[in-house]
Structure 1
Amino acid sequence: MALVVAGCSSPDDDKSDSSGFESITIEHEFGSTTIDSEPKVVVTMLGSWTDALVALDVPIKAEYVTEGYSGENNKFEWTPAHESEVIPYLGAESISVPQLAAIEPDIILAGYLGSEDEYKRLRQVAPVIPVMQKDAVMDSWQDVTLTAGKIFGKQDQAQSLVDDAEQQLTDFKTAHPNAQGKTFSFGQLNAEGQIGLIADENDPTTKLMTSMGFVLDPKIKEVAEGQSRVLVSAERTDLLDSDLLVLWPLGGDPAAFDALPGWANRTAVKSGATVFVNNNNASALSNPTVLSVPFALDLIAPAAEKIPA
């Protein structure tokens, strides 16, 4: 895991401000962003950044959250209470630059922005950190946490947070030996009865499940033919014959899966190794954070315990 932050100061080229802050440059998908002074007014646009800052006790002035998918009342249950202005939005393109500028941010911790044009639009207001990893749509929760520690001078605390969460992942594997090497599928059921399946080893959900010891069901990767996700008809429940199923009924009712042909005969359904998520908590798996990892482990554990040897 590479941390994509580089210090820019040296004894011969001291770029420290009066508070002792050393200028740093963060490389990212659209180039790099240099931070010359310690950010005091912070805006976040992604849960992993928000959780990292909350865990590091860094104040957040405002946080943009995805309407309808950010927990009850736009607060995730794994994120401790904290003071900030919560602004629901529907993606970077919906952000009003004047509204953002009125916050007078020193830094915008954004994550996925969709395009370089959006990055440049927001950069008019303050330095922006989009996705740091090249050719990715999301940075790992480890890199986000460690980068936050670097920006705000809390490297040791950030490393400790990452180490603790990774230890919990290791403990999970030890506590659930029957789950190790077993297949999983993550599926969304839409209103038309179609099932959307994750088919990418690099998807954040896949990476988190892999860190628990599971493997993405190869049948899904085969059908996807290189796509990161694949949409299949309700009749293809044979693709959900994994050892563990994580299921997201977009209509909100897990009973909707019962109507799918052959559902009762699926391996995980028969063993009870199924997990149902909803709009309020699915982000714990789809956008893992340093604070949501323990929540995700608690979510998966009861199903993992039912996987036969």
Structure 2
Amino acid sequence: MNEYAPQKGTSMVNTTPRPFPRRLFLTGSAAGALTLGLAACGSSDTPTPTNAPAAGGGTPAPGGFPLTLEGAEGKTVLPAQPTKVVTVGFMRDVDEAVSLGVIPLAITPQTNFDSGLAPWVEAKLAGAKAPQQLEVEDNLPFEKITELAPDLILATDSYTLADDFANLTAIAPTLSYQEDVAEDTWQTRAKRIGAALGKADAATKAIAEVETRISSAKDKNKAALEGKTFTFSLLNAEGQLATVILPTDASAQFLSQLGLKLADSVTSLQQAGPTGRAVVAQENTKLLDADVVLFSFRTADERKQVEGDRLFQALPAVKRGAYVPLEVGEALSMAFPSTLSIPFALEAIVPKVVAAATKA
């Protein structure tokens, strides 16, 4: 949810320093539409480093370039197919590049994972050399990015792009989100990145494969999931119960596309904190009850705190075993959807939800 996602910074151009909380994790601010799939769909090509020669001795594929892509923060003008790519987004720029068989020269680390890479990215790399991870403190390391001499910077998943766009475009063409970092659908992001990389057809294929897998998962589990209600919650930065209240939330969409429905008990709550979230007082824990109750935890201590509370233990869903605890990576896979993370979410989360729903 957005409590863990990087927040958009205040305005900054070129030199003014500003805080950049990149070590904050997410679990659900991405309000973009989401769909699912199975592991490592996307391009079936083995990923290749972006500094490797292109097929045909390095000549860009005909017909796609020069290319101009419009974006919310500005235009991306690409004279030829990029061969040296850097990503500076939170997670999904890396996902989509690797999904399409492109290993960036360098990335901003996916800091919610010890290795700096999400497990779905590591699986797709399949032993190939991983990209260099940039050291990020308060600001992006613009000097280091300049040294890498990229010919494309992917930033569709950057929560500080409004601040950073001028600096980044001074280095290389930079791909912005189309409308907003939290509003572009995963399909939109995949198409934009595919076009910029000269892999539009592969991106279209990856999207279709994921959408097919979603439909398949829904059909396969229709008897167990259709019409069942759910809630999805976590502890916010203040240690309070925070729950998803908008059906348009990415995590809620993931589950609703399987046939579930966000419980009326939470959709009527007043927003508090990040968009689409409500804080639930401990004495009102009963509002979190549904056919299936999901909860995301960042640490073992958080899980112990929640599961040890007598009011949580008293929830009918918890009593009958219709409670699904999720690890950070699992929550992120559906909260920040991509053509790689959605398949991971299908495999990691759906069986647990189906098992819980059968106890409703």
**Aligned to 1:123, which of 151, 162, 169?**
169
Change (3 A) 1:49 1:233: same
**Which residue does the alignment assign to 1:76?**
118
Structure 2 unaligned blocks of 5 or more: 1-31, 34-57
Change (3 A) 1:191 1:115: closer
Change (3 A) 1:106 1:194: same
Q: What's the secondary structure of 2:296's corresponding residue? A: strand
Q: What's the secondary structure of 1:196's corresponding residue? A: strand
TM-score, normalising length: structure 2: 0.72
Is 1:194 the equivalent of 2:240? yes
Task: Describe how 1:96-135 pairs up with structure 2 within 5 A.
Answer: 96-110=141-155, 111-114=157-160, 116-134=162-180
Contact map agreement 1:201 1:216 (CA 8 A) in 2: yes
**Aligned to 2:299, which of 251, 256, 267?**
251
Change (3 A) 1:156 1:271: farther
Distance 1:138 1:97 in 2: 26
Q: Give the aligned length.
A: 290
The residue identity in structure 1 corresponding to 2:318 is V
Structure number with the bigger relative contact order (C-alpha 8 A, sep ≥ 6) is 2
Which 10-residue stretch deviates more, 151-160 or 185-194?
Answer: 185-194
Is 1:241 the equivalent of 2:289? yes
The residue identity in structure 1 corresponding to 2:120 is W
Per-residue CA deviations over 1:22-75 (Å, capped at 9, x if unaligned) read: 2222222224322222111111124222122212112311111242x1x23112
Distance 2:267 2:97 in 1: 35
Contact map agreement 2:154 2:193 (CA 8 A) in 1: no
Per-residue CA deviations over 1:64-98 (Å, capped at 9, x if unaligned) read: 1242x1x23112212222431123546xx621211
TM superposition shift of 1:193: 4.1
**Which residue does the alignment assign to 1:65?**
109
**Which residue does the alignment assign to 1:151?**
196
Change (3 A) 1:104 1:149: same
Distance 1:183 1:224 in 2: 19
**Which residue does the alignment assign to 2:3?**
none
**Which residue does the alignment assign to 1:49?**
93
Distance 2:357 2:115 in 1: 35
Is 1:219 the equivalent of 2:265? yes
The residue identity in structure 2 corresponding to 1:154 is K
Contact map agreement 1:43 1:108 (CA 8 A) in 2: yes
Is 1:304 the equivalent of 2:354? yes
The residue identity in structure 2 corresponding to 1:27 is E
**Which residue does the alignment assign to 1:282?**
331
**Which residue does the alignment assign to 2:37?**
none
State the identity as a percent.
25
Distance 2:167 2:159 in 1: 10
Is 1:291 the equivalent of 2:340? yes
Per-residue CA deviations over 1:281-306 (Å, capped at 9, x if unaligned) read: 43102111111112111223222233
CA RMSD of aligned residues (A): 2.7
Distance 1:170 1:152 in 2: 28
Distance 1:42 1:104 in 2: 9
**Which residue does the alignment assign to 2:225?**
179
Q: What's the secondary structure of 2:231's corresponding residue? A: strand
Change (3 A) 1:245 1:119: farther
Distance 2:271 2:120 in 1: 36
Change (3 A) 1:89 1:244: farther
Q: What's the secondary structure of 1:43's corresponding residue? A: strand
Distance 1:215 1:186 in 2: 11
Change (3 A) 1:88 1:281: farther
Q: What's the secondary structure of 1:73's corresponding residue? A: coil
Structure 1 unaligned blocks of 5 or more: 3-16
Contact map agreement 1:237 1:260 (CA 8 A) in 2: no
Contact map agreement 1:46 1:109 (CA 8 A) in 2: no
